[in-house]
Each structure stands twice: as C-alpha cells, then as structure tokens.
Chain A
Amino acid sequence: MSIRTITFDAIVVGGGGAGMRASLQMAQSGFKTALISKVFPTRSHTVSAQGGITCAIASADPNDDWRWHMYDTVKGSDYIGDQDAIEYMCQVGPEAVFELDHMGLPFSRTEEGRIYQRPFGGQSKNFGEGGQAARTCAAADRTGHALLHTLYQQNLKNGTQFYNEWYAAELVKDANENVCGVIAISIETGETVFFKAKATVFATGGSGRIYSSTTNALINTGDGVGMALRAGVPVQDIEMWQFHPTGIAGAGVLVTEGCRGEGGYLINKDGERFMERYAPNAKDLASRDVVARSMMMEILDGRGDGPDGNYVYLKLDHLGEEVLHSRLPGICELAITFAGTDPVKEPIPVVPTCHYMMGGIPTNVHGQALKMSGGHEGEDQIVNGLFAVGEVACVSVHGANRLGGNSLLDLVVFGRAAGLYIEDALRQGMTQYEPSNDDIEAALTRVNRWNDSKGGESVHSLRKELQTTMQNHFGVFRKGDLMEEGVQKLADLRGRIAKAHLDDKSSAFNMARVEALELDNLLEVAEATAIAAYNRTESRGAHSRYDYPDRDDENWLCHSIYDPRTKQLGKREVNFKPKTVETFQPKVRTY
C-alpha cells in the first residue's frame, strides 16, 4: 500500500496553547509549517484552563521578582524540577505574557490599566519569607479560552497551514531511529497520509482520560506519549499525576484554584475550615498535592459529606455576588450546571480529581526530545527530528507537583522556545531524514491492525476497565501491593486490547476508529504510569505511598525514566545548575 506524502519544514501535532505558540513562531518566520490537530484548534483542552497564567510581571506588586517565582516553582516541584528550565521559564515569562497582550488577549485589568493578577497556591514573596504573592495573570476565569482563541487568531493572521480534524496515528522513523514525520488520518475522509518534515513537534497535551474521574477533556488520551513509547522513546516522571483539589463531585468538572485565590476556602461536613490544621500558614493556598491529600484525609476520617461521605465543600458565598460574577463568572455557570448549586448562596461539593500529567517525553529547554544511551539509564541523547512542548513534554519545570497557573506559562514559554530553536536550525539547514517504504509500512501496522480486526472485545468496555483500574490502583494515595495488582491487570489488558475489535470500518468521519486508536495510547500511558509508580519507592509531590511515606532524597532526588522496550525504570539526574542564580537546595517542604 502506498500513501500520499505531504512535505513541510516543520509539523506540529496538537492545536492547544503549546502547539499554536510553536507554529506561530515558525509561521512568522516564513517556514512552511503545518499544524495537525484532531479537533478544530479552539476545541483543544487549553480552552478549559480557568484561573490564569502565573508570571512575575510586577503588576499586583511592583517589586515582584521572577526569582521568587522560580523559588516557589522549585519548592512546588518537591525539588525534582530542573532548575535551568525553571529559571528559563520564570525569567522569559514576562516577555511571553506581554506578547500575548500585544496579540490581543483580553486580560482583566487593574485601575492602573495593567494586567490583573490574583493569588494562587504555592506563591510567595521573597523566597517564601514575605507572605502570599498575587502572581497569576487572569482573564476573569476564562484565561485558557482567551489565550487559545488569541493564538488561533494570530496563526490565521500569519498563515499557518491547519490540518484540522486530522488524527496523528504514528511516528515515522528511519532505520537509525531518526524521526521523519508522522502518519495521520483525515477524520473527515479517512485518507491516510505521511506528513514528512525536518522537525516534528509533539504538542498533544495530557492524558487524564486514563482515569475514570478527571477534569480533562474527552480528547486527552495521551496520543503523543503513546506514539513516543511505541517508537521506543522513553518517558520521564510519568508516575507524577496531579489531582486537582477542586473537581466538582460526580461530574469531575474543574473549579479553578483562583476561587481560593479570591478568598474562597474548603470546609468539611462539620463546616470546619480544615486546611488550617494541615497547612497553618498557606492554608487553602498550599500546593495542590498538599491540599488534595488533606481533603482525602478528611474524607477517609469520615468528615466528608454526601450520601457516601465522599466529598467536601468549597465555600464562596462570603465573597459576595459582585465579586463572584465579575471575577468568577464561569465558575458560577459550571456550578449551577454540574453541581446544581449557586455558589453565591451555597458551597460547591468538590473532590480531588485527576488533572495534570507532570511527566512526559523528556526534553531540553529547546524542546528537543531526549532518550538515554542505555535505554532506561546512561547519557542523554537527542532524538533527531523530534520535539515536545507543553503537557506532553517533561522539560521538567513541574517536577513532582505543578503549581497552579504554571501550565499556561509552560505552554507559551516552551512553545515559543521550540519555535525559536527550530526557526534557527532551519535557517542553518536541518536534515530531512528519509524513511524507506518499509519504515512507512511499519508505522502503518497499528492502523492496519484495527482496520483488519474481525472480532473481539469492544473499545468502550476495555477503556472503562482500564480507567477503573487506574482509578482504584493509582489514585491520590498509593500502596505497593495494590499497585502490583494494578500492573498485572494492565498487562492482561494489553493482551486483550491487542485483539480488540473495531466494528465500524467506514471512512467518513469515523469516530469509532479514532476512539480505537486512542485506546492504544491510553494503555501505553497507563502502563508506564503504573510501572513507574510501583518502582518509585518513596513519597514525593503528587506521588504518595502508604508503604513509603517519606521523601527519600538519598535514593530518589532524581527523575525516573521509563524505557518502553524493556519496561524498566531507571534514574536521571535533576538539573541543579541554574545559570544566573544560586541553586535552591532541597529543604523540608511545608506550607
């Protein structure tokens, strides 16, 4: 079977904030750039980001300093965020945020006409000594929506070539493991095409859909991680999953941390503001991992409310109708729609809900994907032709726990950085690696497998089982024996998914085929998560184990590297060498 080839200088896979910031950079410089997205770009999950983009632009506090932001981020990461990358993000951040304003992003404003900033969790002034900072730049509680639409508009203006509703199915590599492009399928027509490019940028976002309860969109199925793992590219810190403290109980829909930034707080069924006990200083604005665990302890100790005692409340009514409607209008809508409560009058039932994948494809600050010389250990090596930015990447600025508002900053800073790097590399002459027909054929194996399937279990039942396994065995609190059982269940699922059935083989807008291909990716992410979580024998950041309750800096002050070929977990050094500031040494982490 021979398929059509379309050639570009660079292709970006994924139309969220990171992908569109990268494509914008390259399109502006006149290189032939394509953006391949399985949904129309403004339907990407960045649109759901609410509270804002954290950055020391010195609006709320004229003395604010990016180094304070860096300190908070390093501490938030529980010291396994790379300090050179965090330094770069916090330092370059203001420039990237001002660019967004110049592009037209409708930020909320202060009386001085500057961008409005609100307090978020884990923020401090003066390296933790000066009290709570207000550093999160906001467009009401619709910052992600405003950012995503602005970036789409700028890409229109600058002539990015969009392949909307095209599904990227597999990486294409040559015999020497250099990346040559991707296989993608037009969802509308079913046509399968080889997109060839000198640079392939993955900006495919997260994979919250490996859990049954998640704030993530239905499209967040880890397609980039799946493709990378199948191509033998490792993932880093993939056991680190953030559970956001405030997902609406039952629906899983996100309620921004900005609610607590604006003065809201959590209460248990007795009406007690319990965070005062767990984090006496920061209280409800402690880091997300700390707040999520505290909520789960309240629930496990019988102080949750509801018929099953499995949620607590977010109280906002004391802020008053005016503040709620001007600062948090989207939350008011969501609470009424999905919880049946009006936050102006009643508290919202909330529960920690899977929200963000801190791990991902290891990269350097230019977005270049990395692998290890020995598979799961050894020296860093660049994967030629492959880049990753945003949630799919692990650069790593979030380490073991991401701070609220740092995700949008990560997207624009590293989307931009990868774009700048590729732009420069293209100018100097980048190699186009050429795959053989056999290489292309190999990349089509999986698509052909589904297209030829003749019987077997259905995609939706297997997906449900996978999600339940992850929810029950790899949640907020983890335990060795329970995780071991989970790893077994996933191994069994792997065998069954390999024989699963796609009944609908039609070509026009076949969503069943897309969901089948997504299921393979969910499995890859789930299994990598499970094996990494089981093998990291400590508690750090979002990874919390009953059987290893303490942080173990002696053995685990490092990244984990999961090699898909051997399913082994290795270690990689964390960067402790920022360029312009002193290293932030690991300390006991309290809020």
Chain B
Amino acid sequence: MKVSIYRYNPDTDREPTMKEYEVDTQGKDLMVLDILALVKEQDESLSYRRSCREGVCGSDGMNINGKNGLACITPLSEVAPGVKEGKKPLVLRPLPGLPVIRDLVVDMGVFYEQYEKVQPYLQNQSPAPAIERLQSPEERAKLDGLYECILCACCSTSCPSFWWNPEKFLGPAALLQSYRFLADSRDDATEERLSRLDDPFSLFRCRGIMNCVSVCPKGLNPTRAIGHIRSMLLERGV
C-alpha cells in the first residue's frame, strides 16, 4: 500500500514536502503506528512520537487522512474505505494548528500552557484527614468521562476556535480538565476556578462546533463539560 507522510527537517529542508512510501502489509489490518514502524525500517530519518502503543499515553496524536486520531489504536480499516486494500493512500500529517518541529512532531507548548492555566490539581483548604477524604460513589461518578483525558491534543488541534485564539481560548482539553476539578467533591476552589474563566475568551470562545467530541480517541465529551461550566458561570451570575 501507499503511504504519504508529511516530512520536514529544519536542519536540511527549506519547506515541508509530502513523501511517498510503499509498505507491504501482507493484507493485514495493521494499526497506523505499525505502518510508521515499517516506514522507519526503510527510512530511519522519519520522526514521530510514540510510547505505550495502546492508546493510553497520548503520544502519537496525528492527522490521519484528514482526521485527528491516535496512530496506535487506529486500524487501517477505520481510516477510510479503500486504505487497507491499498486502493487509497494513507495520508499522515502532524496535528494541525501547532508549529511543526520535525516531520510528525509538533510543538505542544501552547497546549500545555493552557492546561496549566486551569490549575489542574486538587485544591482543598481544610486539613487532610488521617485517612482518605470520603467521597460517595455518586460523587465519584461525576469524574467519569473527565479524568480519563490523555492530553493527546487531538481535540484542541481540531478546534477552529483554538486555531484562531490558541493563546486566549483555553481549548477543549484544558476546559475538560477544568471541569474535572470543578466536579470533584474534594475540591473547594470552585469560586476561584470560575472567576478565572469568566472572560470573553477563555471559555466563551467555544462555539459548540463539536470537532473535539468527534475526534476524541477516548470517547470523551469536552463540549458537554464546557456546557456544565457555562451553566455554573450563569448560575453564579444570577
């Protein structure tokens, strides 16, 4: 099958190019990450991030035939009709909207900065008990669909609002994390957290496009989390 990969090495290339490779899959429904490994056997100069190869570390987010996803849990058969059969090329590009360092590796700096802005850690002023802070199963259930985020950036880099204002709009990943702490019964910094989001950009630049939901490899729903924060801000305003 044919694979077309975005190549750019700042040491040697004046501009990026798409490079074509031929890979023998022996008809198997390999993961996109397996294909990258086969390409790297032919051409060791290809760079991409990878670690767990099972969809939990979030290293290998990339744009696969136009859609963001994790290479390690995207089988060829799910990329697009005809790709696995070799009728259509597999097209791999870096995540959109972030500066490219090299090949499929993007500079995630601004993405991490937005994450840090939501103060993504539990805050509780009361002294900790000698055992755990108690939390009912119902309270804990509110964190499901939030804590599982793997920071792969597939969502934020598919979001037009983030493309336009990556420094001012926090983006779906950071907002999901913000809500993860707002929803935690053990956290008591709700007021401060909401105050920091109460401006025209940080949260309210979300236009409900829902690209984040359609690409999230973990099946999470940042748009819904953003909706919950909006409601909290509105209730607080009344």
Question: Which residues of A come within 8 Å of B, CB atoms?
Answer: 39-40, 42-45, 47-48, 57, 97-98, 101-104, 106-115, 139, 142, 145-146, 149-150, 153-154, 156-157, 188, 217-219, 251, 253-254, 330, 333-334, 337-338, 458-460, 502-504, 506-512, 515
Q: Which of chain B's residues 158-209 have a Cβ closer than 8 Å to chain A?
A: 181, 184, 186-187
Given contacts A156-B120, A217-B53, A459-B44, contact A509 B102 (CB under 8 A): yes
A86 to chain B, nearest CB (A): 23
B101→A47 contact, CB < 8 A: no
- Residues of chain A within 8 A of B22, CB atoms compared: none
B6 to chain A, nearest CB (A): 13
Given contacts A334-B54, A459-B44, contact A106 B184 (CB under 8 A): yes
Whether, in the assembled complex, B228 has its beta carbon less than 8 Å from a beta carbon of chain A, the answer is no
Cross-chain pair count, CB within 8 angstroms: 154
B50→A218 contact, CB < 8 A: yes
- Residues of chain B within 8 A of A218, CB atoms compared: 50-53
B9→A42 contact, CB < 8 A: no
Residue from A57, A104, A219, A507 in contact with B131 in the complex, judged by beta carbons closer than 8 Å: A57
- Residues of chain A within 8 A of B101, CB atoms compared: 188, 508-509
B137→A109 contact, CB < 8 A: yes
4 other contacts beyond A98-B128, A506-B12, with CB at 8 A cut-off? A109-B139, A218-B51, A337-B55, A460-B44
When chains A and B are docked, how far (Å) is the Cα of A178 from the Cα of B120?
39
Residue from A47, A112, A338, A511 in contact with B47 in the complex, judged by beta carbons closer than 8 Å: A511
Given contacts A42-B150, A45-B51, contact A157 B121 (CB under 8 A): yes
Whether, in the assembled complex, B48 has its beta carbon less than 8 Å from a beta carbon of chain A, the answer is yes
Q: Which of chain B's residues 95-134 have a Cβ closer than 8 Å to chain A?
A: 101-103, 105, 108, 112, 116, 119-122, 124, 128, 130-134
List the 5 closest A-B pairs by CB distance, nearest first.
Answer: A104-B122, A113-B134, A101-B132, A153-B121, A509-B102
A112→B121 contact, CB < 8 A: no
The 23 sampled A-B contact pairs (Cβ below 8 Å) are A40-B59, A40-B151, A47-B56, A47-B150, A98-B131, A103-B122, A104-B184, A109-B139, A111-B137, A112-B134, A114-B134, A145-B150, A146-B147, A156-B120, A157-B119, A188-B101, A217-B53, A217-B57, A337-B75, A506-B9, A508-B9, A509-B47, A512-B44
B103→A98 contact, CB < 8 A: no
- Residues of chain B within 8 A of A254, CB atoms compared: 54
Whether, in the assembled complex, B11 has its beta carbon less than 8 Å from a beta carbon of chain A, the answer is yes
When chains A and B are docked, how far (Å) is the Cα of A508 from the Cα of B104?
12
- Residues of chain A within 8 A of B73, CB atoms compared: 337
When chains A and B are docked, how far (Å) is the Cα of A95 from the Cα of B41?
48
Whether, in the assembled complex, B66 has its beta carbon less than 8 Å from a beta carbon of chain A, the answer is no
- Residues of chain B within 8 A of A253, CB atoms compared: 53-54
A505 to chain B, nearest CB (A): 9
Whether, in the assembled complex, B224 has its beta carbon less than 8 Å from a beta carbon of chain A, the answer is no
B55→A103 contact, CB < 8 A: no
- Residues of chain B within 8 A of A149, CB atoms compared: 147
CB closest residue in chain B, given A334 = B54
When chains A and B are docked, how far (Å) is the Cα of A107 from the Cα of B184?
12
When chains A and B are docked, how far (Å) is the Cα of A512 from the Cα of B46?
8
When chains A and B are docked, how far (Å) is the Cα of A7 from the Cα of B45?
33
When chains A and B are docked, how far (Å) is the Cα of A277 from the Cα of B145?
41
B143→A106 contact, CB < 8 A: yes
A303 to chain B, nearest CB (A): 27
B132→A145 contact, CB < 8 A: no
When chains A and B are docked, how far (Å) is the Cα of A507 from the Cα of B9?
9
When chains A and B are docked, how far (Å) is the Cα of A104 from the Cα of B124?
10
When chains A and B are docked, how far (Å) is the Cα of A253 from the Cα of B72?
12
- Residues of chain B within 8 A of A508, CB atoms compared: 9-11, 101-102
CB closest residue in chain B, given A248 = B54
Whether, in the assembled complex, B26 has its beta carbon less than 8 Å from a beta carbon of chain A, the answer is no
Given contacts A48-B54, A253-B54, A508-B102, contact A153 B128 (CB under 8 A): no
Whether, in the assembled complex, B40 has its beta carbon less than 8 Å from a beta carbon of chain A, the answer is yes
A460 to chain B, nearest CB (A): 5
A228 to chain B, nearest CB (A): 22
